[in-house]
Amino acid sequence: MGVRDLNFREKVPVGILGATGAVGQRFVSLLSSHPWFQIEFLGASENSVGKAYGKAVHWTLSTPIPEEVAQIPIQKCVPEAAKCTLFFSALDSSVAYDTELSFAKRGFVVVSNTKAHRMDPDVPLLIPEVNAKHLALIEAQKKKNKGFIVTNPNCSVIALSLALKPLYDRFGLEAVEVVTLQAISGSGHPGIPSLDIMDNVIPFISDEEEKIETEPLKILGSFDSGKIDYASFKISAQANRVPVTDGHMACLSVKFKEKPSEKSIIDAWTGFTGEAQVLELPFAPAHPLQYFEEENYPQPKLHRDLNRGMTVSIGRLRKCPILDNKFVILSHNTLRGAAGGAILNAELLVKQGLIFW
Ligand code: NAP
């Protein structure tokens, strides 16, 4: 794959499937001022079809609905209705599988947030700084469908994989234990009833622990002979919902193959960059990982918006009496963990010459 020399006379026309939800709103907000992409299509459920976006959506972001988008009528999520090249999917997981596939079969590129196709053997589960090489899987998809699907990982898994990648490469990993403290916006809108979550912690999020225990092994796997060989270390996850609006935190304990010093772990994080930074993608933060020395950092309120919500904050590195070391990570679940991460994926596809318009 060559790197495309971009000289944008026309922006890439894009659609958003599930545009009215918690993640869909982030897409609308971020894409409305994107230098490469132009929103042309908004899709949602039958309840919203036919209404102007501004009337259909229950807007929850602190920035206003972009004026030019508020007037766009919502359409059905069917490929026949669509004239775009690229679709971002923030669909409810109950409808995502078939809908995303139908768009790919009609020749469109689908960049998805949903779990539907993440573990398909020929679908890249992509984080541009971590596994850009996995884009080679697209060739296999193109043999079946005219278009293709690229997915981003679960919102907790994105931060986890970014924080583990430089450690995995330098020191090797044997085991990871992770306890998450996940924000309410992770369950969409309206999500969990306020009386259930205020003054409370819920120690269960459906399917979440399974995703955290498996997706990083695909992401950190190596691409070889047309397929991905999964990483082989073990992950044990416990997921909790906490009364924070945005920002997923996770407390990790890690066992390494080679035992690093604390300084070399911090150096591995602070020096870490990837393909997104090399290609200077518009949504790439200069530093995907930032380590804080303060003993009470990171915190959702203070750090979730770091570098437009695209940097993972890390802190509290110390010895673990059971495994080797423990630390805390934090990232914005609807920015780096969803819409921002998907936009970064789409930017990589454009730059690699995989999207034509
Ligand atoms: P949400 O707030 O519940 O939004 C769901 C969206 O899907 C809405 O736009 C809804 O449209 C649409 N929809 C529902 N049924 C549909 C149908 N039959 N046909 C077409 N559209 C339909 O959910 P969310 O939190 O934004 O999550 C969206 C997806 O991203 C989910 O698959 C989720 O697992 C994933 N995700 C979420 C996060 C997060 O932090 N929230 C992070 C990563 C990934 P209406 O408004 O018309 O009902």
Residue-level pLDDT at 8: 58
Residue-level pLDDT at 357: 82
pLDDT digit string, tens, across residues 79-102: 987 789 999 999 999 999 999 999
Give 114's Cβ-side CA count (13 Å radius): 24
Atom of ligand 1 nearest to the CA of 114: 32
d(CA 333, CA 285): 16
> 276 CB less than 6 Å from ligand 1?
no
Asked if 182 and 205 touch (Cβ cutoff 8 Å), the reply is yes
Asked if 199 and 302 touch (Cβ cutoff 8 Å), the reply is no
Asked if 44 and 20 touch (Cβ cutoff 8 Å), the reply is yes
Average pLDDT over residues 3-8: 57
> 111 CB less than 6 Å from ligand 1?
no
pLDDT digit string, tens, across residues 117-141: 999 999 999 999 999 999 999 999 9
> 22 CB less than 6 Å from ligand 1?
yes
Residue-level pLDDT at 80: 86
Domains of the chain listed by start with CATH number: 12-154+339-351 (3.40.50.720), 155-332 (3.30.360.10)
> 102 CB less than 6 Å from ligand 1?
no
Name the 3-class secondary structure at 86. Answer: strand
77, 179, 285, 355 from 89: Cα distances, Å: 10, 28, 23, 16
Task: State pTM to two decimals.
Answer: 0.96
* Among protein residues, the one whose CA lies closest to atom 12 of ligand 1: 18
Atom of ligand 1 nearest to the CA of 94: 15
d(CA 288, CA 189): 28
248 is catalytic: yes
pLDDT digit string, tens, across residues 34-58: 999 999 999 999 999 999 999 999 9
Atom of ligand 1 nearest to the CA of 74: 47
